[in-house]
């Protein structure tokens, strides 16, 4: 790991101004469970780390009118154990509970989970790939069993976050603070496809940090769940995951948000699957159709066609949990 | 050579009780007791010594600069940028090593591996240079700045392709090492990637196929995996006086390291001291030479202590398990008897032979399975490729072979409509019958292993396969291994003036519990309590020669040596007492630090010392040497009347659930049965079986090194998936089959690898039982399972 300077920020304002002072050379750090690994592997070589953990107040879960506010420094384990969150947002809690290992959940933060970098082995390994400023993405011609089946090109990474699909399914918003001010956007718009930016997974500018997640309280009748399919049962990233939030009225689906993890360079919202459900009863037939529709645009690579079959199965399975 | 005394005492379990009068003499106090490991507390409170933690005053840390191409000529190494970094002490290359060691090639089978690459690199990750600095971070940064220019050569990665005419040749010529007697048959070769082709011919296989009612032929593959020890490989070297060298190393084979480093330096062995401590796992990764020659050369070049400790990532570049392609052809008679079997195996040994030829030959000769087959032909190719080197991994190739024959046996049984258990019963190789090598089977309790599996699985009870997307299945498999031969262990038992004792031996406790087992054997023989025995860790200045801690050989070989050494010490004490008491030695017994005669006379340790040394101090040293008999196989036919000191028999059975929509297999029950002769410590022996079973579970379901043009792409524990606690089957159990081996110490055989053999085929057979799908390549990932399901439904995934 390259030597670096650590700066403890005491406020959001100080953090973003420190980042702005070292353009391209500073990175924000929370728990560091992802960033430190990247630094050890020489993927990121910041000269300055701006420590966000020293900013007071960013580690709170607060109930507000019509929404719950989640500080980005809330540990994942706290989400997994929160009764308040479990009451309103089962998908969020279920997603938190299956992240990594107990140690990582204890230190890892909500913000860090949303901002984590891809697990692609070309990105993590000694390859100068597109995402690291290289000429091309190794995945299409290489070992691509874990890569994107949707939204891929020119980079075929998949977004590794478990919390992101759940929070997008729950219509969460993100507040971003930077040296030029704050903005609040739907979390769905936080993530960007490689066609927009091939080197980043989100819209954060170098002097910006995520400062709050707001989840609106769901309308009555809303149910949500998160299904993560892993190769092994502990400490694994999703092969495919799905978060589904469904509101039914009079035996028909009134609103549906279906967001997948592990299939695309961003948390992948399937409008096709949602459309297949709206106005119809949620049952085995419509759940299977939603899975089929979600996979219509899929374009698997040489080794990852199984993820198409897997996605269909777990979309159906997740929806059946919500009947 | 010492031929072991025949063991005459009965074991305390499973065999019929002897008449009461005899039984009294044979009551065991220490052997057979499940005492906690002697080092448990030290491991929990952190005081246990590991070499990885060792720091020496004035020490430099080395960081290896590694090859980035799989096969190429080194055009230029430019270390100027690295040397310019503040704090860099030196950059060492292969040419620098040559100034110290003119012929710096090492290896237990062939002298093929350079300490640092010379002229050519043969795999991605091969050490090319070492940066030395007092600060490891400085060394790491500088290692990135060493510029190496390569002229790429065509690589070859596949073990079958590498044997074809026209394949790129990885080594221009091969020089046999000639150190181990079982590898004396290796020949110098050139112009080929096949380091060894070993054959076993038994009966007439062509005739057998011609007469068979049905012939089955399949190809099974297993991929490269790694040991993933939690203590990575580490070695330190320091100058010792004016002309000596001390190497502290996480090695399973300190005696070998001393010999090989001495040979490289052209020194007598007594100038090289090698010591080890507890190992944080090894499983074959820390055998022979790994970093020892490199740190030795560096320390001598810079005249300072040098440490090199690998990262987990670097472990993937250092040693792996062999990938293997196994073609197996079996001729069957109508009545379900196997009449002919031909097995051809290509072992992917990677760029350097390491111990690959022994893996190929030793596992290869068991490739027909523990079955009585009249006509057998076994061919094994130890193949060089441009992958990282492959060596020993817990089982020495056996699990790759069992994977093939036990999957095929199930295919055959199903095809013939015979219950898989019954199929195996019909074909078992019973004691007294010749194995394919011509060696007559003895002390091989395969019937019993099958019986226990059957009981534990309730095999005769109808099994619910489930309905809906999640299906259930069960499967079993058996396997066996011949313990390595010929090898020697030497032990010293030192009884001090107060009656306490130390065992000096070069067996390395790497987590398997050998310290405890050796202490139990010494304690049993000397009539003292195990907890009072201290086992001195390997230090070649102190502890005598041992071939290595490998191949499940320590309990049997070193156990016998320790028993003999303790008997020797005891005999000396009895002789002192007999002379003093003027009585017959047969009248005396040594127990709890005193000699007692039948007539009731008693001599304490104090008295014994006084009698021997004229004062109440002194030491009685017992020595034991153990080398079991062995006859070299005929190089043309592989025939030998005595190919091994003992056979290790094993069986595993699994119940699984498979989700047909996600392809995910969950093993709900895993039973591992091992024929251990007699368990010195039953709890530790069972843990060995369960530990090995869980390790093999990882190799069955998750683990697989993935490569991109020779570059490992999942060299981290995040991406290379070993099983976690949640992956351990809820119902995991081990069972010991205990029939005392006639030459084992108190009847014991080895057990370290036994639990590995049969797990993979048991699970694959269970998968087939559940959903009728057969997968012939490990691991059984959701991807492979889904792919196989879809192929069986004629809806290949590629249609997506």
The DSSP code sequence of A169-229 is HTT-EEEEEETTEEEEEEGGGGB--TTT-SS-SB---TTEEEEEEEEEPPPTTEEEEEEEE
Active site residue ranges of B = 753
Specify the pLDDT at position B333. 97
| Residue linked to tokens 């949640």 | B726
Q: What is the pLDDT of residue B10?
A: 35
A315: tokens are 């979309």
Q: Is the pLDDT of residue B7 over 90?
A: no
Q: Does the fold of domain A222-321 match that of domain A61-115+158-216?
A: no
pLDDT in tens, B115-129: 999 999 999 999 999
Instruction: Please report, for chain A, the start and end positions of each structural domain, with discontinuous segments joined by +.
Output: 1-56, 61-115+158-216, 222-321
CATH code for residues A1-56: 3.30.43.10
**DSSP codes of every residue in B620-665:** EEEEEEE-----PPPTTT---S---S-EEEEEEEEEEEEETTT--E
Fold of B51-155+243-303: Aldehyde Oxidoreductase; domain 3 (3.90.1170)
Beta strand pairing status for B470-482 and B647-659?
A: antiparallel
CA distance B494 to A151: 71
Q: What is the pLDDT of residue B5?
A: 40
Q: Helix, strand, coil: what percent of chain B each, to 5?
A: 30, 25, 45
**pLDDT of the residue at B186:** 81
Instruction: State the Cα–Cα distance between residues B795 and B800, nearest whole angstrom.
Output: 9
- Other Cβ atoms less than 10 A from the Cβ of B218: the count is 17
Chain A contact present for B730, CB below 8 A: no
Query: Residues B31, B521: contact at Cβ < 8 Å?
Result: yes
* Residue in chain B nearest A100 by alpha carbon: B718
Could you say which residues from 765 to 784 on chain B have a Cβ atom under 8 Å away from some Cβ of chain A?
Answer: 781-783
Q: Within chain B, which residue ranges are assigned CATH 3.30.365.10?
A: 320-485+633-792, 487-626
Answer positive or negative: Cα dihedral of A164, A165, A170, A172.
positive
pLDDT at B410 over 50: yes
The secondary structure of B723-747 as a DSSP string is --GGGS-SEEEEEEE----TTSGGG
The CATH architecture of the domain made up of B487-626 is 2-Layer Sandwich (3.30)
Q: How confident is the model at residue B15 (pLDDT cuts 50, 70, 90)?
A: very low
Tell me the C-alpha distance between B443 and A249, whole Å.
Answer: 72
Percent of chain B with pLDDT over 70: 97
ipTM above 0.85, yes or no: yes
User: Which residue is it, tokens 């592997």?
Assistant: A41
A292: nearest CA partner in chain B: B800
Q: Which two tokens stand for residue B422?
A: 């019954």
Task: Decide: helix, strand or coil at residue A307.
Answer: helix
Inter-chain CB pairs, A–B, below 8 Å: 92
Q: Beta strand B470-482 with B390-391: parallel, antiparallel or unpaired? A: unpaired
> Would you call B708 and A122 a contact, using CB atoms and an 8 Å cutoff?
yes
pLDDT for residue B18 is more than 70: no
* Sign of the alpha-carbon torsion through B705, B707, B710, B716: negative
Element (H, E) at B138: helix B136-143
| pLDDT classification of B466: cutoffs 50, 70, 90 | very high
- pLDDT at res. B26: 56
Q: Average model confidence (pLDDT) for chain B?
A: 94
Tokens of B121: 């690199």
Q: What is the fold, at CATH topology level, of the domain defined by B320-485+633-792?
A: Aldehyde Oxidoreductase; domain 4 (3.30.365)
> pLDDT of B166-197, one tens digit each?
999 999 988 998 888 888 778 888 899 999 99
CATH T-level topology, domain A61-115+158-216: 3.30.465
**Phi-psi label, residue B458: left if phi above 0, alpha if psi -120 to 50, beta otherwise:** left
Does A171 reach chain B within 8 Å, measured CB to CB?
Answer: no
pLDDT the model gives residue B9: 36
Within 10 angstroms of residue B362's Cβ, the number of other Cβ atoms is: 25
Chain B residues with CB inside 8 Å of A313's CB? Answer: 469, 661-662
How remote is the C-alpha of B760 from its chain's centroid? 17
Under an 8 A CB cutoff, do B721 and A119 touch? no
Q: What does the DSSP assignment read for B520-533?
A: HHHHHHHTS-GGG-
Q: What is the pLDDT of residue B192?
A: 94
Nearest C-alpha neighbor of B682 from the set B747, B606, B587: B747
Q: Chain B 468-497, CB below 8 Å of chain A: which residues?
A: 469
Q: Residue B504, Cβ neighbours under 10 Å: how many?
A: 23
The two structure tokens encoding residue B391: 């060596």
Contact across the interface for B724 and A309, Cβ inside 8 Å: no
Tell me the torsion sign for CA atoms B696, B697, B699, B703: negative
Phi, psi (deg, nearest 5) at residue A67: -160, 165
Look at residue A145 in the predicted model and tell me its pLDDT: 95
The tens digit of pLDDT for each residue in A224-240 reads 999 999 999 889 999 99
Q: How far apart are CA A294 and CA A196, in angstroms?
A: 22
Q: How confident is the model at residue A195 (pLDDT cuts 50, 70, 90)?
A: very high
Q: Token digits for B64?
A: 């290896």
Q: Which tokens belong to B197?
A: 């082709």
Residues of A in contact with B728 (CB under 8 A): none
CA distance to partner chain A, nearest, from residue B65 (Å): 13
B67-102 b/e (C-beta count within 10 Å ≥ 16 → b)? bbbbbbebeebebeebeebeebbbbbbbebbbebbe
Q: Is the pLDDT of residue B325 over 70?
A: yes
Let me know: does A46 contact A68? Beta carbons within 8 Å: no
- Does the pLDDT value for residue B436 go beyond 90? yes
- Name the fold adopted by A222-321: Enolase-like; domain 1 (3.30.390)
The rounded Cα B313 to chain-centroid distance in angstroms is 22
Give chain A positions within 8 Å (CB) of B706.
121, 143
Residue B486 CA to residue B181 CA, distance in Å, equals 7
Task: Using a CB–CB cutoff of 8 Å, tell me whether B706 touches chain A.
Answer: yes
B792 lies within 8 A of chain A by CB: no
Burial of B41 (0-12, 13-18, 19+ CB in 10 A): exposed
Stretch A256-273: mean pLDDT, rounded?
Answer: 98
């Amino acid at each position: 790991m390259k030597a670096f300077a650590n700066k403890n920020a005491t406020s959001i304002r100080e953090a973003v101004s420190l980042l702005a002072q070292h353009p391209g050379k500073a990175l924000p750090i929370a728990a560091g469970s992802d960033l430190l690994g990247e630094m050890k592997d020489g993927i990121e070589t910041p000269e300055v780390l701006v420590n966000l953990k020293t900013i007071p107040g960013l580690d709170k879960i607060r109930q507000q009118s019509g929404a719950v506010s989640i500080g980005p420094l809330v540990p994942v384990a706290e989400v997994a154990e929160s009764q308040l969150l479990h009451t309103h947002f089962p998908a969020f809690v279920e997603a938190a509970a299956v992240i990594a290992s107990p140690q990582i959940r204890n230190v890892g933060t909500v913000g860090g989970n949303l901002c984590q970098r891809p697990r692609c082995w070309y990105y993590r390994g000694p390859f100068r790939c597109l995402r690291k400023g290289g000429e091309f993405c190794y995945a299409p011609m290489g070992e691509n069993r874990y890569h994107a089946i949707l939204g891929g090109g020119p980079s075929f990474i998949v977004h590794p976050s478990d919390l992101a699909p759940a929070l997008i399914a729950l219509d969460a918003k993100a507040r971003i603070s930077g040296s030029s001010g704050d903005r609040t956007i739907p979390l769905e718009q936080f993530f960007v496809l490689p066609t927009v930016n091939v080197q980043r997974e989100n819209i954060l500018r170098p002097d910006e940090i995520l400062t709050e997640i707001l989840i609106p309280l769901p309308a009555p009748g809303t149910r949500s769940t998160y299904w993560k399919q892993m190769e092994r049962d502990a400490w694994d990233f999703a092969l495919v995951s799905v978060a589904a939030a469904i509101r039914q009225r009079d035996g028909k689906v009134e609103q549906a948000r279906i967001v997948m993890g592990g299939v695309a360079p961003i948390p992948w919202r399937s409008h096709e699957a949602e459309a297949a459900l709206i106005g119809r009863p949620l049952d085995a037939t419509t759940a299977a159709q939603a899975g089929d529709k979600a996979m219509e645009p899929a374009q698997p690579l040489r080794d990852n066609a199984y993820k198409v079959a897997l996605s269909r199965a777990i979309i159906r399975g997740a929806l059946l949990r919500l009947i | 050579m010492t031929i072991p005394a025949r063991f005459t005492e009965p074991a305390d379990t499973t065999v019929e009780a002897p008449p009461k009068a005899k039984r009294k003499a044979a009551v065991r106090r220490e052997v057979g007791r499940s005492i906690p490991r002697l080092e448990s507390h030290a491991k929990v409170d952190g005081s246990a010594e590991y070499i990885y933690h060792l720091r020496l005053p004035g020490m430099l840390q080395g960081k290896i600069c590694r090859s980035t191409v799989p096969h190429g000529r080194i055009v230029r190494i430019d270390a100027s940028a690295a040397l310019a970094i503040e704090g860099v002490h030196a950059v060492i290359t292969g040419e620098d090593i040559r100034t110290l060691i003119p012929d710096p090639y090492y290896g237990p089978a062939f002298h093929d591996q350079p300490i640092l690459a010379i002229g050519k690199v043969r795999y991605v990750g091969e050490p090319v240079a070492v940066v030395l600095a007092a600060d490891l971070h400085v060394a790491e940064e500088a290692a990135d700045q060493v510029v190496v220019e390569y002229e790429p050569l065509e690589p070859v990665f596949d073990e079958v392709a590498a044997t074809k005419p026209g394949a790129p040749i990885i080594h221009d010529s091969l020089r046999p090492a000639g150190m181990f007697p079982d590898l004396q048959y290796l020949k110098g070769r050139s112009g080929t990637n096949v380091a060894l082709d070993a054959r076993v011919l038994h009966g007439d296989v062509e005739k057998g196929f011609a007469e068979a009612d049905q012939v089955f032929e399949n190809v099974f593959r297993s991929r490269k995996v790694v040991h993933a020890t939690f203590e990575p490989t580490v070695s330190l070297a320091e100058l010792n006086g004016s002309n000596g060298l001390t190497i502290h190393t996480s090695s399973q084979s300190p005696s070998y390291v001393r010999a090989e480093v001495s040979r490289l330096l052209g020194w007598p062995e007594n100038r090289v001291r090698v010591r080890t401590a507890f190992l944080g796992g090894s499983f074959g990764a820390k055998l022979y030479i790994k970093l020892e020659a490199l740190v030795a050369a560096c320390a001598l070049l810079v005249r300072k202590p040098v440490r090199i400790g690998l990262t987990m990532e670097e472990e993937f570049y250092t040693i792996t398990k062999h990938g293997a392609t196994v073609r197996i052809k079996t001729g069957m008679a109508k009545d379900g008897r196997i009449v002919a079997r031909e097995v051809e195996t290509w072992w992917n040994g990677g760029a350097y032979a390491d111990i690959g030829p022994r893996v190929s030959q030793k596992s290869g000769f068991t490739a027909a399975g523990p079955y009585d087959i009249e006509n057998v032909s076994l061919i094994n190719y130890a193949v060089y490729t441009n992958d990282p080197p492959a060596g020993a991994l817990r089982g020495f190739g056996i699990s790759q072979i069992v994977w093939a024959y036990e999957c095929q046996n199930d295919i055959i049984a199903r095809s013939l409509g015979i219950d898989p258990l019954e199929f195996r019963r019909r074909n078992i190789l019973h004691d007294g019958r010749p194995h394919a090598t011509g060696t007559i089977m003895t002390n091989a309790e395969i019937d019993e292993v099958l019986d226990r599996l059957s009981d534990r699985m309730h095999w005769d009870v109808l099994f619910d396969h489930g309905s809906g997307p999640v299906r259930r299945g069960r499967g079993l498999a058996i396997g066996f291994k011949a313990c390595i031969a010929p090898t020697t262990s030497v032990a010293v038992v030192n009884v001090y003036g107060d009656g306490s004792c130390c065992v000096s031996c070069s067996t390395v406790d790497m987590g398997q519990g050998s310290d405890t087992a050796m202490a139990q054997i010494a304690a049993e023989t000397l009539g003292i309590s195990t907890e009072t025995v201290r086992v001195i860790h390997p230090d070649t200045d102190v502890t005598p020669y041992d071939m290595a801690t490998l191949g499940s050989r320590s309990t049997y070989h070193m156990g016998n040596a320790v028993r003999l050494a303790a008997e020797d010490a005891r005999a000396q004490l009895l002789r002192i007492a007999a002379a003093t008491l003027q009585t017959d030695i047969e009248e005396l017994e040594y127990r709890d630090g005193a000699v007692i005669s039948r007539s009731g006379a008693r001599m304490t340790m104090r008295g014994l010392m006084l009698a021997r040394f004229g004062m109440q101090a002194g030491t009685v040293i017992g020595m034991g040497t153990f080398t079991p008999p062995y006859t070299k196989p005929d190089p043309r036919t592989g025939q030998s009347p005595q190919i091994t000191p003992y056979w290790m028999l094993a069986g595993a059975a699994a119940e699984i659930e498979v989700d047909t929509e996600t392809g995910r297999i969950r093993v709900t029950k895993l039973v591992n049965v091992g024929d251990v002769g007699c368990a010195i410590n039953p709890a530790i022996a069972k843990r060995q079986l369960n530990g090995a079973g869980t390790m093999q579970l990882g190799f069955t379901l998750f683990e697989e090194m993935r490569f991109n043009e020779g570059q490992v792409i999942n060299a981290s524990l995040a991406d290379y998936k070993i099983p976690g606690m949640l992956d351990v089957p809820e119902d995991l159990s081990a069972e010991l089959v205990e029939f005392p081996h006639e030459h084992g110490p108190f009847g014991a055989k080895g057990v370290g690898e036994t639990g590995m053999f049969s797990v993979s085929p048991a699970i694959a057979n269970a998968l087939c039982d559940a959903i009728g799908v057969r997968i012939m390549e490990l691991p059984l990932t959701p991807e492979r399972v889904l792919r196989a399901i879809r192929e069986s439904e004629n809806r290949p995934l590629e249609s997506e």
